[in-house]
């Protein structure tokens, strides 16, 4: 596999500031955890850890909200999109591993396999082609 050009994973997303334990403790004490959203409702997918923790994507809220209140707006679609984007490096790796398991499969002879496997291989090949140069 060629060296990737994208920011290395793992990537993560949380709508709240703090570890899961800190968030749980805040809620146990009747406090709502601090939301990690911009005033316009953007969520951020982060990469790295510690000093290397940096943003890789910002995801918009897809519903209307009062100006300046995006950070206080629940937006399930934005959060689902952020989780999917955060999983992208792992999904790409898993897809590449899946294809490596079928390394003997000639793309021109995919149709010789059972229909479900052929479809899975075609979809995987297309996804990797879309994600890599």
- Residue 96 · residue 1 · CB < 8 Å: yes
- Rounded to 5 degrees, what are φ and ψ at 38? -75, 170
Lookup: tokens for 107: 């793309």
Rounded Cα gap, residues 118 and 112, in angstroms? 8
User: According to the model, what pLDDT value does residue 61 have?
Assistant: 80
Same domain, 101 and 80: no
First to last CA, the chain: 12
Contact predicate 55/82, CB 8 Å: no
Give 55's strand partners. 46
In a domain, 2, yes or no: no
Looking at the structure, tell me whether residues 72 and 14 fall in a common domain: yes
The answer to whether the CB of 16 falls within 8 A of the CB of 36 is yes
Residues 38 and 69 in one domain: yes
42 and 99 assigned to the same domain = no
Residue 73 falls inside a structural domain: yes
* Domain span holding position 110: 88-133
pLDDT mean over 52-72: 73
- Can you give the pLDDT at residue 106? 63
117 in the same domain as 76: no
pTM: predicted TM-score of the whole model, two decimal places: 0.76
Per DSSP, what are the bridge partners of residue 46? 12, 55
Mark whether 48 and 98 lie in a shared domain. no
- Total number of domains in the chain: 2
Q: Are 33 and 64 within one domain? A: yes
Q: Within this chain, do residues 18 and 82 fall inside the same structural domain, yes or no?
A: yes
Over the stretch 63-108, which tens digit does the pLDDT of each residue have? 766 555 555 567 788 889 999 999 999 999 999 998 888 765 566 6
Residue 46 in tokens = 């982060």
> For residue 3, is it within any domain?
no
Domain-embedded: residue 69: yes
């Amino acid at each position: 596999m060629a060296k990737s050009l994208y920011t290395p994973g793992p990537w993560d997303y949380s709508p709240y500031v703090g570890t899961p334990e800190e968030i749980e403790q805040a809620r146990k004490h009747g406090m709502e955890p601090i939301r990690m959203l911009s005033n316009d409702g953007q969520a951020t997918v982060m990469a790295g850890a510690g000093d290397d923790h940096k943003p890789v994507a910002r995801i918009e809220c897809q519903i209307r909200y009062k100006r300046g209140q995006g950070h206080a707006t629940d937006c399930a679609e934005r959060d689902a999109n952020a989780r999917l984007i955060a999983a992208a490096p792992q999904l790409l790796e898993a897809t590449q591993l899946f294809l490596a398991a079928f390394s003997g499969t000639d793309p021109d002879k995919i149709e010789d396999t059972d229909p479900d496997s052929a479809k899975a291989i075609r979809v995987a090949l297309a996804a990797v082609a879309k994600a890599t140069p």
